[in-house]
Structure 1
Amino acid sequence: MKSHPRKKAKWEEEKREDRVKWRQLEHKGPYFAPPYEPLPDGVCFFYDGKPMRLSVKAEEVATFYGRMLDHEYTTKEVFRKNFFNDWRKEMTVEEREVIKSLDKCDFTEIHRYFVDKAAARKVLTREEKQKLKEEAENLQQEFGYCILDGHREKIGNFKTEPPGLFRGRGDHPKMGMLKRRVMPEDVVINCSRDSKIPKPPAGHQWKEVRSDNTVMWLAAWTESIQNSIKYVMLNPCSKLKGEKAWQKFETARRLRGFVDEIRSQYQADWKSQEMKTRQRAVALYFIDKLAGCCSLRVEHVQLHPEADGCQHVVEFDFLGKDSIRYYNRVPVEKPVYKNLQLFMKNKDPQDDIFDRLTTTSLNKHLHELMDGLTAKVFRTYNASVTLQEQLRALTRAEDSIAAKILSYNRANRAVAILCNHQRATSSTFEKSMQNLQTKIQVKKEQVAEARAELRKARAEHKAQGDGKSRSVLEKKRRLLEKLQEQLAWLSVQATDKEENKQVALSTSKLNYLDPRISIAWCKRFRVPVEKIYSKTQRERFAWALAMAGEDFEF
């Protein structure tokens, strides 16, 4: 029998040179936020109790604050101060002469106007909703796709962010500042030289048009708050993104062949005569166990000879990315603890712990240990290995689907704890748990009733023995099985919800766990992949679905 070669998936096609990301790239450019629509005449801003008509620019910024009037942000002093400073910059000279205190500003009518608009959207007719859906789809078709190396690929974020007030995460010092409107003159377009260059909106021009096939972005601009560059990128399910994700996890898999030697070396270096080598060795230990450390200062760390029943405990407490507090207590190896004491000795709180080390020198050393090795590769490796080991330990083939899902989420939870992916308990947690417990109680009553009905049907069939009574008996048995399955799912949800109320599972699941581990587990234990990954996530991990058999090992 003649065999036909398997058609290659997009991510398995002929590879380009390492630095070359594409040969052909054509797109329509980003879709810009629509222009501001002034408030209707009947909606007023008040200052010091008197109505005041604002200039268009000042009014637009006022609406950003008015929309948020019932939000906690508008009670924060930093937010209010930053907003007022930036708002005054948008005012006319005459407006600045009048408006000098935020406390005298009344945005109530503006707020009510947007609340009413939101309420009106909720009661749109089916036809109106369908029209909006079609408009969004038309926009997606026009701006949401590009041509990349002959493939029509979906773009991830084809819209520029609308102007508004910056919120930030945690207690960000820039919260309340004005996020300015992105204009075509701010945007750099990236496409192939022989492609049809996207047209800017009428009356505008692009900042620059370039053809750089060593990068993956289609358009870029610098945002006004933190001067960071924003990009229009491909959708995670695209060929290029799938290829990049595959390569990322393959790099992490390669670490398995190096990790024992790397660990032995950095452990030996804890006793080095050279301070720089010692600091690098402890830094590598933290990268391996905690994924990062280079910028730690003395004030960020407290050392405890004993805490929480463990010896040699390091307490971390500092503001990390996006001003989010990172707090963790970690027991460490005794030589690591002793070295930290040495590194911190005779230093001021503001001094660096790893003062002999730079990010550049550490990254260079990582690449010398293994080509492509980074702190993120370590994190990905440790997370994926932990998931695989936990799944192997927790899953039983004879368990129900619901019990297997619970085991999967517990394995995922172990990874999230390893990666310190914490979250605050939701303000709606107690209420949603009460609702879930109510559903469980109702379902238990339904199961008890169905069980009684089944006993009755069984007795009637025993007495009558005819086809009709047998049919009723089977119907009652199927109903009981269905209700018991529903009860099991509800119980799993309740357990899951309680165990994970302060743990964020999705970050590690989508970014640090090789999806082939989860897909192989699903195939091995006959768990529908849809129970683990949503439709969007399955599209994102299409490459893994195509590759992973039930015997895949990370």
Structure 2
Amino acid sequence: MLDHEYTTKEIFQNNFFNDWRKEMTSEEQNIIKELEKCDFREIHKYFVDKNEARKALSKEEKQKLKEEADKIQEEYGYCILDGHREKIGNFKTEPPGLFRGRGDHPKMGMLKKRIMPEDVVINCSKDSKIPEPPEGHKWKEVRFDNTVTWLASWTENIQNSLKYIMLNPSSKLKGEKDWQKYEVARRLKDVVHRIRAQYQADWKSKEMQKRQRAVALYFIDKLALRAGNEKEEGETADTVGCCSLRVEHIKLHPNLDGLKHVVEFDFLGKDSIRYYNKVSVEKPVFKNLQLFMNNKDPADDLFDRLNTSILNKHLQKLMDGLTAKVFRTYNASITLQEQLKALTNSEGNVAEKLLAYNRANRAVAILCNHQRSTPKTFEKSMQILQTKIDAKKKQVEEAQQELKKAEDEFEETKDAKAEVNVEKKKKLLMRLEEQLAKLNVQATDKEENKQIALGTSKLNYLDPRISIAWCKKFGVPIEKIYNKTQREKFAWAIDMADEDFEF
């Protein structure tokens, strides 16, 4: 990890050094006292060389490795569920390494320990052939629980959280679960107006808890905020969601940038990703927030009469299966559908339609705060693309000159051969202009999406039937939107959605 930017961060270095010292012998502890004096370049070179050697293998050697991997996949990568042979998702445990986390995680750099058979709980049916642990080891436990969908689990040492071996996303069970999730969100569409009318009325309630619940629900609906689950003390980073916001996480501005009643949010959300937003809200929401913040310290809860379970209990009464999370799925899917209608030009070519799709997807990613840091390779790949654009522009200019020459020749001679030449030059110019337009679209797309993660919403919050219906309607190949693995995951949607599907 030496050439990774994580290793330049002080918190990463400190966490790593603390954990490393715990693994040292007392003799090593006496010698190794400062991380700056340690030189890891030799072991780094060993791994780099190993990687290069793997890349340089002959075709036959690579094929042999592939066959070995396929053999392991065949033996460990499948299970029988309700009489059907199903593919298992991640059937390998993660090797030991240094924890990175997402965003600015306070535990980055800590040592992720090796998972031993003694850590692993196996879950299968009583009459099945129970997997053998490696020689000299035994499983932590073997259980027969058919109420859950995981096949093995263990607790990882960094955040003390459970990790599971699950079925592959393309399995029948996962597909059904996926479909149910989007169907619940579609049902919300029929009652959302009633729910909105109710929480708006509750802004004036005599009960403080109702007011807090109504304002929190407004934020979850309007801003697609996560509800925020309560965490154990000291369990992980100081991340919050809507219900666990503190007074210090918001600032109120009666007037800001020409807008009235502006709420400025600044907090760490899921995966320690910063959520920063300035939003103009309804006047009663603004007044309520002033009331909720009255006589409170910065570290006090903003919604002190509310938590996620109180909110979800209330939502359950409004619609069967409704939780705060459903709003996120609903608003993401509706946003995509509306944006696609507004942005797609049916006359455009496939590249232009894909740009429209990515712009629609980006509107959702921004709504859901799916950020990423600019990829390290961004500048280089943009330079390569720009070089291609410049070369293509030159070709277009040359083709324009060639066409002009051919047209002049035809004007002079009125010769049939010269006419054919003009048509030929016209076609070439058109083809080159199309290629240039395509490259320009690619550059725009790349620039606009450098800090937005489009994949998260596409795979978890957007009803795939919207994208598939759009592809079918506008003649865009589905593989341009979903790769092979994603098409397997959404096989149910590909079968189900025709071009007239409406979320």
TM over 0.5: yes
* Structure 2 residue 241 is matched with structure 1 residue 308: no
Deviations along 1:270-324, one digit per CA (max 9) or x if unpaired, are 0001101100100111111223300000111111112233211111111222222
Range that drifts further, 276-285 or 147-156 = 147-156
Counterpart of 2:258 in structure 1: which amino acid?
G
Question: What's 1:280 paired with?
Answer: 213
Equivalent runs, 1:193-208 vs 2, <5 Å:
193-208=126-141
Distance 1:366 1:328 in 2: 26
Q: Which amino acid in 2 is paired with 1:165?
A: L
Which runs of structure 2 are paired with 1:360-439 in the superposition (5 Å)? 360-439=309-388
Q: Secondary structure at the match of 1:306?
A: strand
1:211 aligns with 2:160: no
2: CA distance, partners of 1:213 / 1:483? 60
Structure 1 window deviating more from structure 2 (130-139 vs 332-341): it is 130-139
What corresponds to 2:271 in structure 1?
A: 322
Gaps of 5+ in 1: 1-67
Q: Distance in 1 between matches of 2:115 and 2:405?
A: 70
**Alignment match, 2:238:** none
Distance 2:203 2:323 in 1: 20
1 CA distance for matches of 2:410 and 2:149? 70
Which residue of 91, 97, 108 corresponds with 1:175? 108
Alignment match, 1:239 = 172
Q: How far does the alpha carbon of each residue in 1:38-57 deviate from its partner, in whole angstroms, 9 at most, with x for none?
A: xxxxxxxxxxxxxxxxxxxx
Which amino acid letter does the alignment assign opposite residue 323 of structure 2?
A: T
CA separation in 2, counterparts of 1:387 and 1:502? 19
Who is 1:524 aligned against? 473
**Distance change in 2, residues 1:103/1:504 (3 Å):** closer
TM (norm. structure 2) is: 0.90
Q: Size of the alignment, in residue pairs?
A: 485
1:478: how far off?
Answer: 5.7
2:81 corresponds in structure 1 to 148
1:335-368 superposed Cα distances (whole Å, 9 cap, x missing partner): 1111011001100111001001122111111111
* Equivalent AA in structure 2 for residue 513 of structure 1: L
Q: Deviation of residue 113 (structure 1)?
A: 1.9
Matched, 1:537 2:486: yes
The one-letter code matched in structure 1 to 2:202 is D
Residue 69 (structure 1) aligned with residue 18 (structure 2): no
1:102-137 CA-to-partner distances (Å, cap 9, x unmatched) read 344332322222222223223222222222222222
Distance across 1 between alignment mates of 2:102 and 2:387:
34
Deviations 1:20-71 (A, max 9, x none): xxxxxxxxxxxxxxxxxxxxxxxxxxxxxxxxxxxxxxxxxxxxxxxx2333
Q: Relative to structure 2, which stretch is displaced further, 177-186 or 432-441?
A: 432-441
Q: Give unpaired runs (5+ residues) of structure 2.
A: 227-241
Distance 1:148 1:477 in 2: 61
Provide Cα deviations, 1:66-93, integer angstroms capped at 9, x if missing partner.
Answer: xx23333333332222222222222233
Cα distance between partner residues in 1 of 2:485 and 2:401: 43
Q: Does 1:440 align with 2:383?
A: no
Give the equivalent residue in structure 1 for 2:42.
109
Distance, in Å, in 1 between the alignment partners of 2:425 and 2:488 is 39
2: distance between equivalents of 1:92 and 1:295?
Answer: 43
Q: Shift in Å at residue 426 of structure 1?
A: 3.5
Contact 2:122–2:152 at 8 Å: present in 1 too? yes
Kindly provide the amino acid, as one letter, of the partner of residue 62 in structure 2. Answer: K
What is the alpha-carbon distance in structure 2 between the residues aligned to residue 245 and residue 343 of structure 1? 38
- In the alignment, which residue of structure 1 is the partner of 2:239? none
Counterpart secondary structure, 1:146: strand
Q: CA deviation at 1:457?
A: 7.1
Quick one: distance in 2 between partners of 1:518 and 1:294?
Answer: 32
Tell me which residue corresponds to 2:286: 337
Residues 125-162 of structure 1 deviation map (CA, whole Å, 9 limit, x = unaligned):
22222222222222222222222223222222111000
Cα deviation, residue 456, structure 1: 6.7
The aligned counterpart of 1:18 is none
User: Which of 448, 452, 463 lines up with 1:499 in the alignment?
Assistant: 448
Q: How far, CA to CA, are the matches of 1:170 and 1:250 in structure 2?
A: 32
Once residues 210 and 463 of structure 1 are traced to their aligned partners in structure 2, the CA distance between those partners, rounded to angstroms, is 89
Is residue 11 of structure 2 the alignment partner of residue 78 of structure 1? yes
Partner secondary structure for residue 450 of structure 2:
coil
Is the 2:273–2:371 Cα contact (8 Å) retained in structure 1? no
Distance 1:364 1:393 in 2: 36
Q: Which moved more, 1:337-346 or 1:193-202?
A: 193-202
Aligned partner letter, 2:130: I
Q: Where does residue 269 of structure 1 map in the other structure?
A: 202
Q: Greater CA deviation, 288-297 or 260-269?
A: 288-297
Cα separation, partners in 2 of 1:134 and 1:477, compared to 1, 3 Å = farther
Equivalent-residue separation in structure 2 for 1:180 and 1:304 (angstroms): 48
Q: Secondary structure at the match of 1:113?
A: helix
Aligned to 1:230: 163
Aligned AA (1:256):
K
Deviation digits for residues 218-272 of structure 1 (CA, Å, limit 9, x no counterpart):
1110001000000111121111111111111000000011100000000000000
* SS of aligned partner of 2:135: coil
**Normalising by the residue count of structure 1, what TM-score does the alignment of the two structures yield?**
0.82
Residue type of the partner of 1:83?
F
- RMSD of aligned alpha carbons: 2.4
Change (3 A) 1:207 1:371: same
User: Identity rate of aligned residues, in percent?
Assistant: 76
